Structure 1
Amino acid sequence: MYKDINHLESELDSISKSNSDLALGKLQKILLLLPKEYQSLIEQAFCYKRIPKEYTMSAIFFTMCTASGLTFYMEAFGYKNYSNLYFIVIGSRGDFKSEAIKTATAPLKEMDKDDYAVYKQEILNADNSSGTKIPRKQMLVHDATIEAAQKIHDENPNSIGILIDEIYGMVERMGNSRSRDGLAWRNFFLEGYTNAFIDVGRKTTESFRLNDTCPTLLGGLQNQFTTQLFSNGNLESGFLDRILFTAKLTSNMKMVRGGIPVAVIDDYCQSVKHVLSYKRQSEDTNEKIKQFKIQLTDEAENALFDYLQDLINRQSNAPAIIKEYMAKMQISIHKLCILVFLLKHSKKSSFASSLGRSDVELAVELNEFYLLNFKILLEQKDETNTKEVTVEQIIDYAKKKGASQKTVVELTGLHKGTISKKWHK
């Protein structure tokens, strides 16, 4: 039986519409429900920079998750969760994936820049005779090694945002059993998703423990490499089930003079900075309150309970690969509830408010949106399985034709270092 007319319409849509159509419908609904300061940036970036709306939206979510870190948490049904989430944006070369990341993460980069200036000044003023190392405040790590990411997280335990313009190289290393770095990256993300501890053993330097890990991830991936995501243990390990994928759904073919209005950028940046100020306050050694618990109204708790039960019911009838993804959706819904709470209360810093039913309902829309994106990814995988061409095959063909490494880099869109390693094998 159908609970109401909306439930019936949803079931009919799932039969008659494609996953891309359903995802686009979800996106349009979500954008209308987002606070104006976020909705405006998404719309203006689409208008003036031609960035797909869904790309900017996911990049904004990554930014907010990184800004929050371990500062805000929620407890429900015996579980404690934070907002750290992992996002991968999928598209072709020239689809503005990097521009979406650049636009949305601007307030974090600005704070990192200011913190670096302070760090350099502290080094100049320090008495080096004691040999004491001065830690550097840092939120974003761009294309770093796993050793660097672990060390930065050790010095910044509240959160660390991992930015990777082209994530294919990391995914490939994760699937290589001989790559120590790849396996370490995979373990870092697997354990970090539920904020577990990680012991980092070093042979040449001091070992240490990351007690409460809180990484976030935002990476870009080209369409032709989506099938590699499912190979060599990345699916079986559960890594893919933790990812919120974003396929390209919108496009703007019309050029417009001008740029994103300054007022729109300022409103967005100010809202993010309000969350950052709470994070920085909690990191102060003199601050007694290190974390802020988000309270749920009774209506919100009931809505969350009902959705979790619905997920469990649907999971039992889902295909195996979807079933595993839906298991992690039962965690991501908690994280998305925190994210929605932060989005709705960041402008006025009204974080003493409670999480309401409408917040849970928006989080549910987001969770279902990313499930549809995962289904789109599966469709792309099935379509390309029969005609897949590996990077190694491209390199072999290029060598036979006398083409250069630069040509292969331009053709595949991969980093020149990735191509160089494969070229000389």
Structure 2
Amino acid sequence: MKQEQHYLPGQSNALAPDFSQADRLLEELRKEPTPAPLKAAAPEKPEANPFPIEAFPPAIQRIIRATNNSLRFPVDFTATSMLCAAATAIGNSHTAHVKPTWQEGAVLYAALVAPPGSNKSHPLDFAFAPLSRRDDEAYHRYAQERREYELLQGMLGKDRNNHETEGPREPVLSKTLVSDFTQEALTVAHSHNTRGVCAVVDELAGFVKNLNRYNSGGDVEFWLSAWSSKTVSVDRLKRMPVRIRRPFIPIVGTIQNGVLLELARNGKSDNGFLDRFLFAMPEGVRKERWSDSVLDEAHTRNWANYMAFLLELKMEVDEWETPVPRQLRFSPEAWLRLQEWQGTNTDLCNDAESEALKGVYTKLEVYTIRFALILQLLAWACCEAEKAQIELKAVEGAILLSEYFRRTARVVQRIVHNEDPLDRYNKRKRELYEQLPQQFSTADGLRVAEQMDMPERTFKKFLTEKNLFTRPEHGRYEKLL
């Protein structure tokens, strides 16, 4: 069999090509007409809102990149799904201490937004696989206990009517993930697992559409309270009522761009329900071809190990079996950075062009705290940090995540309200806006304006349009669309 030969630069070999023949070929080519020089390929336009995977610990970043390379999972979807799965594993075990009367848990409401066939569900399955396997194990234990219970019940026979005979305790199923559920069933599941349960919904539009289907307003109010970890109760059960004093019920699901309006119907954009959702929206996402690369099983094992560490975080309870989370305080440096960002966010909130965006920006303050808690504990699970306090690195990562979700929220708000702020401007200004980079300095913007023959005074007045631009710092601007 002929073996393929490999040669290094400078390596001699007996099969070197005949350079005299090469010279003759070059001479023939010189006689041909000189072709026109090839036009240089235009540089790829940078993504307007890339997902900041650098917010995650390096070990998690490697998994996100590997699934994108081998499985074609969009980075935004994998990262958001892993964030939600980590939050679910943490559950009611820990909170972030903001003030003596203010602690934030890790509850997230998230939606993966993309057209059909763009690989939304698979990243969810990957991220939640360790929790799903844990639920499988819990179910098999429950099924065995249920068979034993029913066998003992049958053996008691006539003794059932004898009040002195104490029968076996009926087993209950403790699970972490729910997908097809009613509000009553959800609260019962939560009562069996006070650490928390996560609603993983493949089609989020259907879930939202069914809210308040059988009552007037109660379902939405339930989710508004659950997001804030306020006590929820259900008194409509056929048996006894259920009261959850400290609910922990994250939501994550997929939704298509075309049905985003479903999230805002029936007043859901006015009562704060829509504001509570984080939207993962990759730019220009589409169905990808299969990759020849195979995901290294080490990434799957590592993610399962990190989740196992989070699931083993101890959860304290009080005399009523209500969770008493351990509070993590911010380090002095982390607290100063969080306050600095909160000041900037407050200015953006006060200057927001709509009440809807003000609501979004207000919720982002809460989410930044929650992100910092999750990132700190994730870093601990990856053996990259301690869990004595929330450190500066976790806060910096949380801010990056919040800024990403701020931009996607603005896109969703435009879709929901069916408006494009650029429509109110003339063609010249719309074209200028398209030519400007996503982030730019005043000098950079003036150069673009000069190329398009727009006077400096006109351009600087254009920069004051708050529905088009934000100014994160003096002399620096960012496009909002």
Contact 1:141–1:162 under 8 Å retained in 2: yes
TM-score, scaled relative to structure 2: 0.69
> What is the aligned counterpart of 2:141 among 118, 125, 133?
118
SS of residue matched to 2:220:
helix
> What is the aligned counterpart of 1:109 among 124, 132, 136?
132
**Based on CA coordinates, which of the two structures has the bigger radius of gyration?**
2
Residue 294 of structure 2 aligns with which residue? 259
Mapping for residues 19-58 of structure 1, pairs under 5 Å: 21-24=47-50, 27=51, 30-58=52-80
Q: For residues 56 and 297 of structure 1, what CA distance do their matches in structure 2 show?
A: 29
Alignment pair present for 1:366 and 2:401: yes
* Change in 2 beyond 3 A, CA 1:109/1:283: farther
Residue 278 of structure 1 aligns with which residue? 313
Q: 1:254 Cα shift? A: 4.6
* Greater Cα shift, 42-51 or 217-226: 42-51
* Change in 2 beyond 3 A, CA 1:247/1:97: same
* Change in 2 beyond 3 A, CA 1:349/1:116: farther
Alignment pair present for 1:65 and 2:87: yes
* Change in 2 beyond 3 A, CA 1:214/1:366: same
Contact 1:83–1:335 under 8 Å retained in 2: yes
> What is the aligned counterpart of 1:153 among 164, 187, 190?
190
* Greater Cα shift, 212-221 or 250-259: 250-259
Q: 1:113 Cα shift? A: 0.9
TM-score, scaled relative to structure 1: 0.78
Q: For residues 199 and 115 of structure 1, what CA distance do their matches in structure 2 show?
A: 25
Q: 1:255 Cα shift? A: 2.9
Q: 1:356 Cα shift? A: 1.3
SS of residue matched to 1:215:
coil
1:150-205 alpha-carbon deviations (Å, 9 max, x no partner):
1101111111100110011222233x5x532x844322221111111112102521
Q: For residues 194 and 323 of structure 2, what CA distance do their matches in structure 1 show?
A: 16
> What is the aligned counterpart of 2:255 among 187, 200, 221?
221
Contact 1:168–1:225 under 8 Å retained in 2: yes
Residue 200 of structure 2 aligns with which residue? 163
Amino acid at match of 1:72: H
- Could you list the runs of 4 or more consecutive aligned residues of structure 1 that deviate by over 4 angstroms after TM superposition? 281-285, 287-290, 382-385
Q: 1:21 Cα shift? A: 4.0
Q: 1:295 Cα shift? A: 2.5
Mapping for residues 59-208 of structure 1, pairs under 5 Å: 59-77=81-99, 78-126=101-149, 127-128=152-153, 130=167, 132-174=169-211, 179-180=214-215, 183-202=217-236, 204-208=238-242
* Change in 2 beyond 3 A, CA 1:384/1:223: farther
> What is the aligned counterpart of 1:334 among 363, 369, 390?
369
Q: For residues 270 and 162 of structure 1, what CA distance do their matches in structure 2 show?
A: 22
Contact 2:194–2:323 under 8 Å retained in 1: no
RMSD: 2.6
SS of residue matched to 1:257:
coil
* Change in 2 beyond 3 A, CA 1:119/1:262: same
* Change in 2 beyond 3 A, CA 1:306/1:344: same
Q: For residues 241 and 311 of structure 1, what CA distance do their matches in structure 2 show?
A: 15
Q: 1:107 Cα shift? A: 0.6
The number of aligned residues is: 357
For structure 1, list consecutive stretches of 5 or more residues without a partner in the other structure.
Answer: 1-19, 386-425
Q: For residues 40 and 261 of structure 1, what CA distance do their matches in structure 2 show?
A: 11
Mapping for residues 237-252 of structure 1, pairs under 5 Å: 237-249=271-283, 250=285
- Structure having the higher helix fraction is 1
Contact 1:300–1:356 under 8 Å retained in 2: yes
* Change in 2 beyond 3 A, CA 1:274/1:282: farther
Residue 293 of structure 1 aligns with which residue? 327
Q: For residues 339 and 86 of structure 1, what CA distance do their matches in structure 2 show?
A: 14
Q: For residues 282 and 118 of structure 1, what CA distance do their matches in structure 2 show?
A: 24
Alignment pair present for 1:268 and 2:290: no
Q: 1:350 Cα shift? A: 5.5
Q: Which has the higher contact order (CA 8 A, sep 6+)?
A: 1
Amino acid at match of 2:334: A
* Greater Cα shift, 255-264 or 321-330: 255-264
* Change in 2 beyond 3 A, CA 1:194/1:33: closer
Q: For residues 135 and 183 of structure 1, what CA distance do their matches in structure 2 show?
A: 30
SS of residue matched to 1:263:
helix
